[in-house]
Amino acid sequence: MTGIDDLLRRVSAKAGATTEHLPPPVTAQEVAHAERSLGFRLPPVLTRLYREVANGGFGPDYQFLPLLGEGRTAVNDYHRERDGSGPGGDTHWPAEVLPVLDWGCGMYAAVDCRGSEETVLLFEPNGIDGGWHRAWYVDSESLIDWLETWIAETGWYEEDVEEDGDMRPWDPAQRRLAEGR
Kindly report, residue by residue over 138-150, the tens digit of the pLDDT. 999 999 999 999 9
Where residue 86 falls among pLDDT bands split at 50, 70, 90?
A: low
What is the total residue count of the chain? 181
pLDDT at 165: 54
pLDDT 10s digits, 97-128: 999 999 999 999 999 999 889 999 999 999 78
Bridge-partner residues for 109, per DSSP? 101, 122
What burial class does residue 138 get, using C-beta atoms within 10 Å of its C-beta: 0-12 exposed, 13-18 middle, 19+ buried?
A: middle
Question: Of 179 and 94, which is predicted with more confidence?
Answer: 94
Position with higher pLDDT, 80 vs 62 = 80
Count H helices, E strands: the chain? 6, 4
3-state secondary structure 13-64: HHHHHHCCCCCCCCCHHHHHHHHHHHCCCCCHHHHHHHHHHCCCCCCCCCCE
Q: What is the mean pLDDT of residues 75-102?
A: 87
**What is the model's pTM?**
0.92
Most confident of 4-13, 88-97, 162-171: 4-13
Contact yes or no for 70/26 (Cβ under 8 A): no
Reported as a pLDDT band with limits 50, 70 and 90, residue 155 is confident
pLDDT value of residue 78 = 97
What does the alpha-carbon distance between residue 100 and residue 87 come to, in Å, rounded to a whole number? 25
Would you say 120 and 140 are in contact if contact means Cβ atoms under 8 Å apart?
Answer: yes
Domains of the chain and any CATH numbers: 3-155+164-178 (3.40.1580.10)
78 half-sphere exposure, CB direction, 13 A CA radius: 26
First to last CA, the chain: 41
At 87, is the pLDDT very low, low, confident or very high (cuts 50, 70, 90)? low
